[in-house]
Structure 1
Amino acid sequence: MQEQPFEVVPVAHVVGGRVEPTDDHWGGTRSVIRIDPARFGPDSTKGLEDFSHLEVVFRFHLTDPADLNPGARRPRDNSAWPEVGIFGHRNMRRLNWLGVSRCRLLKVDGLDLHVEDLDAVDGTPVLDIKPWFVDFGPRGNVHQAAWTTEMLGDYFAPHRD
């Protein structure tokens, strides 16, 4: 397989909300996804208010590029959990530094999308925004490794100040 790099340009940035990426307590975090007005007009968000949730693709812009770990490691370096390869994680230690999050859409105000539970911090470059379609959710039986449920027990718990 031949690598063919391509350029990805942010369509928006996260404004407000959390300022530091942390492992837990993203619940109730409110922020704004501010779409770039130099490239998009008001019609770009037309109809979006009919959806309750968004799927947001963003770049982990605060991650140290030297922190890439393409091999297996224990989630959150917890010795109680098994070693898992890079594609068995959802963390920021990835080759392209991409994150995907589903969040609740609270309000559309022109090019400002008011959201809750977006686990991206203030200033995060947003690469794409898609409405969440229930029909694109998982089909069939869903299962996951037991350690993920333990690890994410407080992920969307209310934010602590």
Structure 2
Amino acid sequence: MASSGSSRTSISKGEEPAPVTTYEVESIATVVGGHTRVQDDFQGGVQSVIRLNKEYPLETLLGIEEFSHLTVTWRFHLAQPEDVQLHARSPRGNPQWPATGTFVHRNHRRPNQLAISYPRLLGVKGRDLLVTDLDAVDGTPVLDLAPYFHEMGPRGTVRQPAWPSEMLATYWRDASERS
């Protein structure tokens, strides 16, 4: 459920609405199994379950098995508020990569400590979605999920500097190869 932090109940014609600054969001599911600790690399090949909360009827998943991948929004639940860093810094503390701002990083040091992943859907059994390549750990709250639609992906040529490819060269390597 989302709710505004604003106490305004009506808006007069021509009046601008107050900006919404706070939302209350409840998890819809939980990650079960899979990764047991937070790691930067070797995220591939690990199976886990996204278990839909009991208050949602099973029909909310009807047809999802037709899709190969999901879009999963989740919370870095092991992070602490003091982990947030609102300044430029080099990714993973590596001075060979340029200092970049908070919103250029994709980790738990972001203000809302949210992530989006695109795991492969292997099967559905009741409330359980069996997935692989979900880079969240056991117990992670899932805030939203949807099938991945190719048509909703990026349009046009994707551009990025070299450092993300260097940094993430082993990100999706199979976890069994981790030393």
- TM-score, length basis structure 2: 0.87
What is the CA–CA distance in structure 2 between the aligned matches of 1:105 and 1:123, rounded to whole Å? 18
Q: Which of 166, 169, 178 is 1:150 aligned to?
A: 166
Deviation at residue 9 of structure 1 after TM alignment: 0.1
Number of the residue aligned with 1:35: 52
Number of the residue aligned with 2:101: 85
Deviation at residue 90 of structure 1 after TM alignment: 0.7
Q: Which of 31, 40, 54 is 2:70 aligned to?
A: 54
Q: Which of 87, 94, 97 is 2:113 aligned to?
A: 97
List alignment gaps of at least 5 residues for structure 1: none
What is the CA–CA distance in structure 1 between the aligned matches of 2:58 and 2:103, rounded to whole Å? 37
Deviation at residue 44 of structure 1 after TM alignment: 1.0
Deviation at residue 2 of structure 1 after TM alignment: 4.2
Q: Which amino acid in the other structure matches residue 87 of structure 1?
A: F
Q: Percent identity over the alignment? A: 50
List alignment gaps of at least 5 residues for structure 2: 1-17
Number of the residue aligned with 1:73: 89
Residue 10 in structure 1 maps to residue 38 in structure 2: no
Deviation at residue 64 of structure 1 after TM alignment: 2.1
SS at match of 2:44: coil
What is the CA–CA distance in structure 1 between the aligned matches of 2:162 and 2:31, rounded to whole Å? 32
Q: Considering only CA atoms, is the larger Rg found in Structure 1 or Structure 2? A: 2
- TM-score, length basis structure 1: 0.96
Q: Which of 133, 136, 145 is 1:129 aligned to?
A: 145
Q: CA RMSD, aligned part only?
A: 1.2
Q: Which amino acid in the other structure matches residue 25 of structure 1?
A: F
Residue 21 in structure 1 maps to residue 42 in structure 2: no
